[in-house]
Amino acid sequence: MTQFDATAYTGARQNHLHTLGRMTRYLWPTDRTDLRVRVVAAMLALTVARLINVSVPYFYKRAVDALDTDANVIVIPLAMIFAYGGARLTQQLFGELRDFLFVRVAQHAQRTVALRTFRHLHALSLNFHLSRQTGALSRVIERGVRGIQFVLSFMLFNILPTLLEIGLVTGILFYMFNVYYAAIAGGTILLYVGFTLSVTEWRIKFRKQMNQTDSDANNKA
């Protein structure tokens, strides 16, 4: 990587971090108490769902172990099977509750950003509108507004909860087995994260090219 490429890469990453930092204000709108309550409730539902998700393999293990005994008691295996099914069902219910609670927050963020963008465009000079490609610009704005819900949901419901679940699973492996199992699991996850980041950085240029082509086509149409 040349010095120019490294500088451009660093600038792009700082720009991404700045954008994510500005997006976080929509997760906690200071003027809407009801939306902040929804965010807290959604996080609680997410935490419960993640904790249940970690306990699901435990119930499955107990059900299999109960079936492997020589005793003729069928109550314990059935209880473990029902507990396993109940845990899976409860996990799904809390996941749906999380989405139900958060959708209004995401929609509020989309409306706010779209309205601010619309007002900003109308505040620009006539020369800007005459010299710009309106069709391509409207397509870019549409993609940006549509992607807000994905970015907010990804930040709140994917990154932090996944780190929490990884920590819980690694701790359980360390407690039930030994440090080697936990180290293997943690190392595998780190390799996966590194591979995913490298592939994502590689495919971004194709995504940008696709978006540019789509904007050009919309402008000519």
Q: Report pTM.
A: 0.68
**Mean pLDDT of the chain, nearest integer:** 79
The predicted-structure confidence for 81-125, as pLDDT tens digits, reads as follows 888 888 889 988 998 898 898 888 888 888 888 888 888 888 877
The CA-atom distances, in angstroms, between 182 and each of 7, 91, 140, 156, 159 are 38, 25, 45, 26, 20
pLDDT at 156: 75
Of 16-20, 107-111, 163-167, which range is least confident?
A: 16-20
pLDDT band at 6 (very low <50, low <70, confident <90, very high): very low
Query: In terms of CATH, what superfamily is 21-220?
Result: ABC transporter type 1, transmembrane domain (1.20.1560.10)
Residues with Cβ within 8 Å of 166's Cβ and at least 6 positions away in sequence, in order, are: 186, 189
CB 150 within 8 A of CB 39: no
pLDDT band at 210 (very low <50, low <70, confident <90, very high): confident
Q: 124: burial class by Cβ within 10 Å (0-12, 13-18, 19+)?
A: exposed
Looking at per-residue pLDDT, the higher value among 33 and 129 belongs to 33
pLDDT at 4: 41
Rounded Cα distance between 55 and 94, Å, is: 14
CA dihedral defined by 89, 91, 97, 99, rounded to 10 degrees?
-120
Measured CA angle at 204 (ends 200, 209), to 5 deg = 155
pLDDT at 195: 92
pLDDT band at 25 (very low <50, low <70, confident <90, very high): confident
Highest mean pLDDT among 49-53, 150-154, 205-209: 49-53
The predicted-structure confidence for 37-50, as pLDDT tens digits, reads as follows 998 998 898 888 88
Q: Where are the domains of the chain?
A: 21-220
pLDDT at 191: 93
- Residues 62-81, mean pLDDT to the nearest whole number: 75
pLDDT at 41: 92
Q: Concatenated DSSP letters for 12-65?
A: HHHHHHHHHHHHGGGTS-TT-HHHHHHHHHHHHHHHHHHHHHHHHHHHHHHHHH
pLDDT at 219: 61
pLDDT at 177: 85
Alpha helix locations (H) across the chain?
Answer: 3-23, 33-67, 75-123, 126-131, 134-154, 160-176, 179-220
pLDDT at 3: 47
pLDDT at 136: 65
